[in-house]
Structure 1
């Protein structure tokens, strides 16, 4: 069984037929909505018409889908903040977030400027323009060497992608323990025929360094053990109180 399936690039060309345009529209929905089935009643018919008429580019069609109520309901309202940002990286840049700094940057964008600004920060980025331009549908890129992108992104992108059959059901972030603890992400082969691997039943041990300032500056190390569902909140609480995460390890 292949552990990675590379998406074929889909591009709008100047001589595109109606069939070509419909294929691009389907590819945008599939990529931006995470392989979800879209009902006819949910389609953005006005935006599709603008795209088919040449009034907007693929990039702005992607923007419209990502800023739609449909995307918001599927990827924002039902997800944790970290998961929402993971999905934005996956759907709009075709890769996983590299590190905690990238996550923190996008958390700040959302809290300071709002939902639309968070979406625009990906689509208007130099990385998006360099990778997809105006006419390419975003697609998975984490399996290729890229300038300025760390090698650890391959494993993290694989964890998010898992091939075309994977969808984005689940509100918990998949990479929070590795990114929060600055740990490499392991590739785990799918078990059985389903090809699905889950961390949700596991427990993790978080080692934290805390500095106390008094008559003397002291440093202590504390260890917490939490379930996967509490891990994201625990890491956020540690960071808010000034703690430094030393490591996050899976409890056998």
Structure 2
């Protein structure tokens, strides 16, 4: 099942679109739809020019010489994929996108990221891509003839909350493009959160819900502020993530905050007061979580 309203979390189109499966004997139009689905999934919804298409593997697929899995492999090893996600991205951005494109989920922790980093070191990017497509997980999820699709945003037995929230950091709505990168550019979207095993606030994508903190980015340590002195009487401290600081009630006024994203650590007793203060100063609260 999905978490929360699909339309607000940016996964409505994924929910409404059935997985693409290649069945021998289908019409030419249906085969073309499978090919388009492979490009869309593997290339992260990036626009692809005619000159970038894998024309030889396409022809082999249409003739029945390649399964969907082997066509996915060919696109994953194409110049279009490598130039977009290997040559121009940091190592861990490349790996986290491989998980998304080929297994439809986020990496489940640092150990998994480290294992694929070792594959990259010893076998190069071809071995790294093969490791996903030749895995038991890929076969169990998609087999030979299903186009990979996003699975990580659905709760399932054995899935950790960390992996679940990390998927929403990678999948920023059906209209987003991995080629253009996240809000942080082409830097890893998970970064230290996957190393430390910490969840990320689940916020809607741009246009999902105006004013609900879609533009929140994890700030640097210097942007964190502790309000009060540790936990209050009930022993709880809350982490408030804030985005979109602006001067309220005026146009073209510069905010007094140097950073638009800030994190506050607030005792329970001051939570309501802090909530009002943030809104009064023009901030948008992305999330409030107990720590």
Q: CA deviation at 1:165?
A: 0.3
Count of residue pairs brought into register by the alignment: 207
- For 1:74-93, list aligned pairs within 5 A: 74-93=84-103
Aligned equivalents of 2:61, 2:68: Cα separation in 1: 7
Alpha carbons 2:52, 2:79 under 8 Å: kept: no
Q: CA deviation at 1:60?
A: 0.3
Asked if residue 2 in structure 1 is aligned to residue 17 in structure 2, the reply is no
Structure 1 residue runs without a partner (length 5+): 206-249
- For 1:70-219, list aligned pairs within 5 A: 70-168=80-178, 169-170=180-181, 171-190=186-205, 197=215, 199=217, 202-204=219-221
- For 1:22-41, list aligned pairs within 5 A: 22-41=32-51
Q: CA deviation at 1:110?
A: 0.4
**What's the TM-score, normalizing by structure 2?**
0.66
**What's the TM-score, normalizing by structure 1?**
0.76
Alpha carbons 2:152, 2:167 under 8 Å: kept: yes
Alpha carbons 2:44, 2:101 under 8 Å: kept: yes
| Deviation readout 1:58-107 (Å, 9 max, x if unpaired) | 00000000011110000111111010001000000000111000100000
Question: Which of 63, 69, 72 is matched with 1:53 structurally?
Answer: 63
Structure 2 residue runs without a partner (length 5+): 1-6, 223-261, 265-291
Measured at CA, do residues 130 and 78 of structure 1 come closer, stay the same or move farther in structure 2, by a change above 3 Å?
A: same
Corresponding position of 1:11: 21
Counterpart secondary structure, 1:38? coil
Alpha carbons 1:203, 1:251 under 8 Å: kept: no
Alpha carbons 2:45, 2:176 under 8 Å: kept: yes
Bigger Cα Rg? 2
Alpha carbons 1:30, 1:36 under 8 Å: kept: yes
Higher strand share: 1
Q: CA deviation at 1:139?
A: 0.4
Aligned equivalents of 1:155, 1:49: Cα separation in 2: 39
